[in-house]
Amino acid sequence: EPEVTQTPSHQVTQMGQEVILRCVPISNHLYFYWYRQILGQKVEFLVSFYNNEISEKSEIFDDQFSVERPDGSNFTLKIRSTKLEDSAMYFCASSVGPGLAGNYEQYFGPGTRLTVT
């Protein structure tokens, strides 16, 4: 069964450093998402991406964040200058279509645990 993959599984970085989290969505999916879960808290939406541009972003997704689909398979989340409060599990997800367009379902990757020291 096809699945979303994410690398690395765990990333440790120092405050102020840039990190890039990588995701490979399911191959025929067109919509891509990033979510964040701070330890012990709920999962929060960061950004959705379609047709090489951001569809929607939350208030969390400020100027230090960016997303990119650099090639036909990868989808990346870049955090330019990490802060301690960026420590969280970051989930990538993908779906065939948006919202109410038929057989909609978001498939999640296993997550990348980001630790900022």
Partner 1 sequence: AQTVTQSQPEMSVQEAETVTLSCTYDTSESDYYLFWYKQPPSRQMILVIRQEAYKQQNATENRFSVNFQKAAKSFSLKISDSQLGDAAMYFCAYDGGATNKLIFGTGTLLAVQP
Name the E strands within the chain: 5-7, 10-13, 19-24, 31-37, 43-50, 53-57, 65-68, 75-79, 88-95, 107-108, 112-116
Considering only residues 52 to 71 of the shown chain, the ones binding partner 1 according to CB under 8 A are: 55-56, 58
Within positions 1 to 60, which residues make up the interface with partner 1, using CB under 8 A? Answer: 31, 33, 35, 37, 41-45, 48, 50, 55-56, 58
Q: How far is the CB of 90 from partner 1 (least distance, A)?
A: 11
Alpha-carbon distances, residue 69 vs 6, 26, 56, 84, 103 (angstroms): 14, 13, 16, 26, 24
Contact region for partner 1 (CB under 8 A) — 13-21, 63-71, 73-81, 109-117? 109-117
Positions in the binding site for partner 1 (CB under 8 A)? 31, 33, 35, 37, 41-45, 48, 50, 55-56, 58, 89, 91, 93, 98-101, 104-108, 110-111, 113
